[in-house]
Every structure is written in C-alpha cells, then in structure tokens.
Amino acid sequence: MSSAAELSLGVIGLGRMAQALLQPLLESGELSRPQLQACVASAASAQQLSDRFEISVGLDPRPALGAKFVLLAIKPQQLDALLHQLAPLGPPAPQANGDAPLLISVLAGVRLERLQASFPGWRVVRAVPNTPALVRQGLVGLAYGGDVSPSQRQQVQRWFGLVGEVFELPESQLDGFLALTSSGPAFAALVVEALADGAVAAGLPRALATPLAQKMLSGSMALLEQQGLHPGELKDMVSSPAGTTIAGLRVLEQAGLRSALIEAVLTASERSRALG
C-alpha cells in the first residue's frame, strides 16, 4: 500500500462509474498505480478489482482518505453508514502547498453543505457524470464548494474531461442537469425499445428492428448537432403534408408523449432533491 504522502487519489466505492473514470486516468498516465488506493465493501470485489486494475483495493475506507483527492462513489443511501464507520472523523493532514485535500462526490442529490459538514476540513466538489461516460461520451456537471482552489478545479476538470464534456454549474442547477443527462439515457433507451417494438409489429424481425432503431436515433442526433438544427426543424423536414410521419406524430401528440417526457425529467429532478 502507498503511504499517505504518496497517494494522489483515494476511491471509496469502485462501481461502474468510478471504474469508468479510473480506466482513462491510468491509460493516459494522469496517475500511476502506486498513487491510487481504493476501498470497496466485499473482499471478493476487492480481490477482483485489484487484479483487474493492479491497484491497492481494501475494505477499510480510512487509507483512501490519506490522498490529496478522494472520489466518493458510494450510493447516497450508504453515506450514513460510511460516516459511522469513519467516526470520529478528524480534520485531514495539511498538504505541503497549503491546500486542504479535495473530496469529489458523485452521490446523487447529496448537497455540498451536507458533504462539508460530514467531512470537516475538506474542500468539496459535487460531480454528476452520466452513464455514457462508460464509453467516454459522457456529460459531467461540476459544482464547487466555496474554497476549492483554482488548481484543484483544473485537476477535476481535466480528470472528468477524459470521459466526456464538462459543465461547471451552480449547485442549484445540478438536479435538473442530473434529471436530463443521468436519467435521460434510460428515457432514450425506452424510446428506442418502443420504436423497435413498433417495427416488429409492422413486420420487421427483432434482430433487425433494434439495431435500426439505435442507428436511426444516433444518426438523427448527429444531424441535429452537425447542422445546428433545432429539433423542431428536423421534425418539420421529415413531415410531408398528409404523409406517414405527420400521421405518426399526431398519434404521439394524442398519447401525450411530449408531456410525459417533460414530467419524467421534472420528477427525476424532484427525486434528486429529495435524496439530498
């Protein structure tokens, strides 16, 4: 295990999102393996992840807190249990440059104020990455505690920039950002699945319908982005008078698809606030 002075990043909770960040950090050379210390809940997971990433993975979270940066990647509902395990949690040791260590939380809905109260003496950042970060096509929202230094901000931006596009936001906007970007992939996946089901009902084989729906959606998004189109413009481009598309759009409007998607994002945002 690396000594506390050598540790640059401690990771508490090494699920898929934390792994998605860790992999490019190692591949890019941003961090070397001796600079990392991770903590997970089970011995079997610790051994498996240690073998996979060739880093030190243990069951005790306290060694990870000796790093300059700590990624807190457990579930929000596990925070109280972690704090109980860490109690009494004293202030961290000062760094040579005078900066306090930085806690980077990816816990959905958990506010900066609560994080600061739970980890006294730490500087804190909330990060909201979404699932496409697994393929380095993510969107990441960042909100900083008031005393995070410019160099710490740059480090966090660079690390998350390895898995997607980074947006610095006031904390008040993170719930909406989460609802759209983190819950949104599930909403989009449901739409793709439903479109494929429709194609099957229209006579296409399932093995063809699903990849066609995926390609159609990715191609449509590329068209919107590359040509700078408003979504309504693309809709109108495809909708000929008395044609097939406008007939289908009429059914979607009658079914309330637009309203349902709006309410889904709003409800996810409200749930994010409730988790906090």
The pLDDT tens digits of the residues spanning 101-148 come to 999 999 988 999 999 999 988 999 999 999 999 999 999 999 999 899
Give the CA count within 13 Å in the CB-facing half-sphere of 154.
3
| Domains observed in the chain | 9-170 (3.40.50.720), 182-275 (1.10.3730.10)
pTM, to two decimals: 0.89
The string of pLDDT tens digits covering residues 71-93 is 999 998 899 999 988 887 777 76
List the 138-144 sheet strands across, edge first: 56-58, 36-39, 9-12, 69-72, 102-105, 123-129, 138-144, 164-168
Indicate the length of the chain as a whole number: 276
Query: How far, in Å, CA of 28 to CA of 158, rounded?
Result: 11
- Specify whether the CB–CB gap between 205 and 215 falls below 8 A: no
The string of pLDDT tens digits covering residues 158-216 is 999 999 999 999 999 999 999 999 999 999 999 999 999 999 999 999 999 999 999 99
Query: How far, in Å, CA of 109 to CA of 111, rounded?
Result: 6
Question: In whole numbers, what is the pLDDT of the chain averaged over residues?
Answer: 92
* Closest to 107 (Cα-Cα) out of 83, 86, 149, 77: 77
